[in-house]
Structures are given as C-alpha cells and as structure tokens.
Amino acid sequence: MRILLRRYIENAVVGMSAVVFIGLAVVGGCNAAIEAGQGLRPFGAWNDYSLAQIAQVAAPFLVLALCGIQVVRAWIAGVVVTLFFWAWLYLPEAVDPGGGANIGWGILSLFLPIIVFGSCILMLLPEAARRK
C-alpha cells in the first residue's frame, strides 16, 4: 500500500509540474505573439486575466495528473488540441489588433477545457481496447 501511494505521489508531482509548464507555455506564447504583433513591451500583454487563462489551459491536464493517467498519447493530444484552439483564438488578435471582442470565441473558450479533456479521453480508448 505504501509503495502504491509513493508511486502515485511521484507521478502526481511529475504531472503537476507538466500542468504548470503547459499552462505557462501556452498563455505565455499567446501573449508573446500579441506583444510582437502589437509592438508592446515584453510582458505587456499580461493582465489580470492571465492567471485565469493559465488555470483554464491547465484544468484538463490537472484532471489527467490527479487521475494518474500516464498515457503519453493522451497528453500529446491534449497539448495539440490546446495549441490549435489557442493559436486560432489569439493569432488573429496579434496580426490585426483592435478588432473588438469576439463573443463566439468567448463562449467557445468556456468549453475548451471540456473539449481538450474529451480529446485526451478519446486517446485512451485504444489503450483500453488493447488491455481488454
């Protein structure tokens, strides 16, 4: 029992560090693209919402880490889907600033953690079928 608990804690620590890195990297990359596109100073795009954005990006990966899911395919699928949607969301703002709020994207961004987590779960299905 102690060995299983120690292994879970070790895996959770690795997973949590990946969660923090993914959240910071995605939001930091999007903010850097906006800064470059708009000619802002470094860290000029960081605002009060950046921590909420990091939490939004990290949420599906936090669930993966807490559940102890170590299937690399699931994590990669989640990162790819996250990068796709966040690039699609922020690159137009970096290229053409001042376009106003896009309400559709705002609503979609509320559901992005669910979409990302769903893609991770879909990548677990071949693993489950193989074990069966």
DSSP 30-76: HHHHHHHHHTPPTT-S--TTHHHHHHHHHHHHHHHHHHT---HHHHH
Residue 68 pLDDT greater than 70, yes or no = yes
The residue assigned the tokens 């992005």 is: 112
How many domains, the chain?
1
More confident residue, 73 or 89: 73
Give 97's pLDDT tier (boundaries 50, 70, 90): low
CB 30 within 8 A of CB 88: no
Task: Taking residues 20-43, report their average pLDDT.
Answer: 80
Residue 32 one-letter amino acid = A
User: Is pTM beyond 0.85 here?
Assistant: no
Question: What local confidence, expressed as pLDDT, does residue 80 receive?
Answer: 95
32: how many CB neighbours lie within 10 A of its CB? 15
Q: What's residue 96's pLDDT?
A: 67
Look up the domain containing 86 and give its range.
2-131
| pLDDT, averaged across the chain | 83
Q: Is 47 exposed, middle or buried (0-12, 13-18, 19+ CB in 10 A)?
A: exposed
pLDDT at residue 82 greater than cutoff 90: yes
Is pLDDT at 35 greater than 70 in this prediction? yes
Question: Which whole number is the average pLDDT over 95-121?
Answer: 82
pLDDT at residue 88 is higher than 70: yes
Token pair, residue 4, equals: 């299983």
